[in-house]
Amino acid sequence: MENFREKTVLITGAAGGLGRAIALAFGEAGADVSLADVNEEGLHETAALVSGRKATARVSVVDLSSRQACFNLVKETVDHFGALDVLCNVAGILGPGHTTEISESVWNKIVAVNLSAPFWLIQASLPHLLERNGNVVNIASSGAFIGEAYVVPYTATKAGVVQMTRSLAMEYIKKPVRINAVAPGPMATSMIDNVQFPEGVDMELIQRYMGIRPAADPAQVADLVLYLASDRAANIHGACLVSDGGHSVC
Ligand SMILES: NC(=O)c1ccc[n+]([C@@H]2O[C@H](COP(=O)([O-])OP(=O)(O)OC[C@H]3O[C@@H](n4cnc5c(N)ncnc54)[C@H](O)[C@@H]3O)[C@@H](O)[C@H]2O)c1
């Protein structure tokens, strides 16, 4: 099991299925966790579960769709715990719809949460991560690599997360920091369980990207995130590791 004692980990989307699984896994491994999400109730539930495992958790109820909110979150985390070792960019929204019906505000929101927030959080975190030989794990999606109808803004932002990871890794290749991504396939979380496609979609196209194997338990993906954030992955930089049950080869 990985050991993250005396390490501080910032996790966004911590009220959600994968964010909670990652928070519990880091808590189990002894980390201090800073948990952020716009969903206050879910966030407190996650914090209670983590604290039950004797880890230290703090929460920030925050909408991460502005640069200032991202900078405030990093500052609050460092002010509270005194350092930052790992940033996990997990918060995300799907926003399904027919391409011709997606409004400017929906497009802007998906870009703000899925792509801009990880960038601003990395920008704010880098000075702290560099002091601690720390690292970033961005959550992308297998949808970054295959075509998925009716979720075009989502997959475009996730492809952006993969390329942002690569280019940041190159820019920081001579510095003491690692930047990686994980691309999950379908997981049993509210993003999939509660998805509502609009009228008139072609279900055959959607079935093609819902995966052949059953949706994964987010704890499986959280395991990979912990490995990537650990010293055992010291040689992994600029990678996007896929954990999708073969979803992206179908
Ligand atoms: N569930 C899947 O099948 C799947 C597949 C591939 C990738 N992913 C990715 O995994 C990550 C986690 O998703 P999940 O499956 O746990 O879904 P989820 O809906 O359970 O969790 C997403 C979390 O992000 C939070 N969030 C949304 N907008 C926010 C904002 N503006 N500010 C702060 N928090 C905000 C939500 O409140 C929610 O708690 C996402 O990046 C998602 O794109 C999910």
pLDDT, tens digit (0-9, with 9 covering 90-100), for 18-75: 999 999 999 999 999 999 999 999 999 999 999 977 789 999 999 999 999 999 999 9
Atom 7 in ligand 1: residue holding the nearest Cα: 141
pLDDT confidence of 134, banded at 50, 70, 90? very high
Please report the pLDDT score of residue 103 as a whole number.
Answer: 98
Distance 169 CA to ligand 1 centre (A): 24
Taking the complete model, does pTM exceed 0.85, yes or no?
Answer: yes
Q: What percentage of the chain carries pLDDT values higher than 70?
A: 100
Distance 16 CA to ligand 1 centre (A): 6
Mean pLDDT calculated for residue range 146-167: 98
Instruction: Tell me: pLDDT of 1 over 80.
Output: no
Mean pLDDT score of the chain, rounded to an integer? Answer: 96
Q: What is the 3-state secondary structure (H, E, C) of the chain?
A: CCCCCCCEEEEECCCCHHHHHHHHHHHHCCCEEEEEECCHHHHHHHHHHHHCCCCEEEEEECCCCCHHHHHHHHHHHHHHHCCCCEEEECCCCCCCCCHHHCCHHHHHHHHHHHHHHHHHHHHHHHHHHHHCCCEEEEECCHHHCCCCCCCHHHHHHHHHHHHHHHHHHHHCCCCCCEEEEEEECCECCHHHHCCCCCCCCCHHHHHHCCCCCCCECHHHHHHHHHHHHCHHHCCCCCCEEEECCCHHHC
pLDDT confidence of 177, banded at 50, 70, 90? very high
Does 227 qualify as catalytic in the annotation? Answer: no
CA 38 to centroid of chain Cα atoms: 14
Q: What angle do CA 90, 208, 108 make, to 5 degrees?
A: 40
pLDDT confidence of 249, banded at 50, 70, 90? confident
Domain locations in the chain?
8-249
Please report the pLDDT score of residue 212 as a whole number.
Answer: 83
Pick from 37, 64, 243 the residue to mutate for probing ligand 1's pocket: most ligand atoms within 8 Å of its CB. Answer: 37
Please report the pLDDT score of residue 149 as a whole number.
Answer: 96
Pick from 20, 94, 189, 192 the residue to mutate for probing ligand 1's pocket: most ligand atoms within 8 Å of its CB. Answer: 189
Report d(CA 20, CA 46) in Å as an integer: 6
For residue 249, give every residue at least 6 positions away whose Cβ sits within 8 Å of its Cβ, in sequence order, or none: none
Please report the pLDDT score of residue 187 as a whole number.
Answer: 96
Atom 3 in ligand 1: residue holding the nearest Cα: 186
pLDDT, tens digit (0-9, with 9 covering 90-100), for 101-128: 999 999 999 999 999 999 999 999 999 9
Catalytic position from the list 154, 172, 209, 227? 154
Q: What is the largest CA-CA distance in the chain?
A: 52
Of ligand 1's atoms, which has the minimum distance to the CA of residue 42?
39
Atom 17 in ligand 1: residue holding the nearest Cα: 191
Q: How is domain 8-249 classified at the architecture level of CATH?
A: 3-Layer(aba) Sandwich (3.40)
Task: Give yes or no for residue 229 CB within 6 A of ligand 1.
Answer: no
Instruction: Tell me: pLDDT of 209 over 90.
Output: no
